[in-house]
């Protein structure tokens, strides 16, 4: 069985490679119902592969829950290294990455987002964030407010056809996004302040 975020996207990839393994959806909104079902399959001796639409399973998605429960049940978990937007962005950013903090997706509420960014600014280390196309503008505005005219990297659609890695200030990124539209998933790399 292959557990995946979007069965349609995963089936297209599987079809390309002539793989006919059944798929089952497992994502943020069905994790509580689907997780136990997948764990029963594992406990019955079946193999279950967990894949995501983009990036590495278990990083900013509900995959960690399935892994935690499998391990708690004595079921072995075998990672298969693959693309990671976090590591890809850091490696292409040209920003010191010997020390960094990954903080996942910023809070949705504006006040909490600003407070979290203030706390991250105080760490004096490179900061890596994920962001969705629906909130990238608000997050870049908040970064500009908290970090000022810092030149940060906005990476979009890493390891995919329309990949971009752009260095600019928050204001320049905002102008570019407003002019060209907002599409894809984003990784933001904010350099440390030393």
CATH number, domain 85-190, options 3.30.950.10, 3.40.50.10470, 3.40.50.2000, 3.40.190.80: 3.30.950.10
**Angle, nearest 10°, between helix axes 110-121 and 136-147?**
50
Domain boundaries, the chain: 2-72, 85-190
Pick the closest to residue 116 from 102, 103, 125 (CA basis): 103
Residue 14: its pLDDT value, please?
A: 94
The four Cα atoms 153, 113, 28, 53 give a dihedral, to 10 degrees, of -10
What architecture does CATH give domain 2-72? 3-Layer(aba) Sandwich (3.40)
Q: What is the mean pLDDT of residues 130-153?
A: 96
Predicted local confidence at residue 164, as pLDDT: 93
- What's the pTM value of the predicted model, to 2 decimals? 0.80
Instruction: For residue 109, count other CB atoms closer than 10 A to its CB.
Output: 10
pLDDT exceeds 80 at position 81? no
| Alpha carbons 131 and 161: distance in angstroms, whole number | 19
102 φ, ψ (degrees, to nearest 5): -100, 125
What are the pLDDT digits (tens) for 47-66?
Answer: 999 988 777 777 777 888 89
């Amino acid at each position: 069985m292959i557990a995946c975020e979007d069965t349609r996207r995963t089936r297209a990839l599987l079809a390309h490679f002539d793989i006919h393994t059944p798929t089952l959806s497992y994502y943020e909104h069905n994790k509580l119902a689907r997780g136990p079902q997948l764990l029963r399959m594992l406990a019955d001796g079946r193999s279950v592969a967990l894949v995501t639409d983009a990036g590495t399973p278990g990083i900013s998605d509900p995959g960690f829950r399935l892994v935690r429960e499998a391990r708690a049940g004595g079921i072995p978990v075998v990672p298969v290294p693959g693309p990671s937007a976090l590591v890809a962005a850091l490696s292409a950013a040209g920003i010191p990455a010997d020390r960094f903090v990954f903080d996942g997706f910023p809070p949705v509420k504006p006040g909490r987002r600003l407070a979290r960014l203030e706390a991250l600014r105080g760490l004096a280390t490179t900061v890596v964030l994920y962001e969705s196309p629906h909130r990238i503008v608000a997050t870049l505005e908040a970064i500009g407010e908290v970090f000022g005219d810092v030149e940060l990297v906005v990476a979009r659609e890493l390891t995919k056809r329309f990949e971009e890695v752009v260095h600019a200030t928050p204001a320049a990124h905002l102008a570019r996004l407003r002019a060209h539209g907002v599409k894809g998933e984003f990784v933001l790399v904010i350099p440390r302040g030393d």
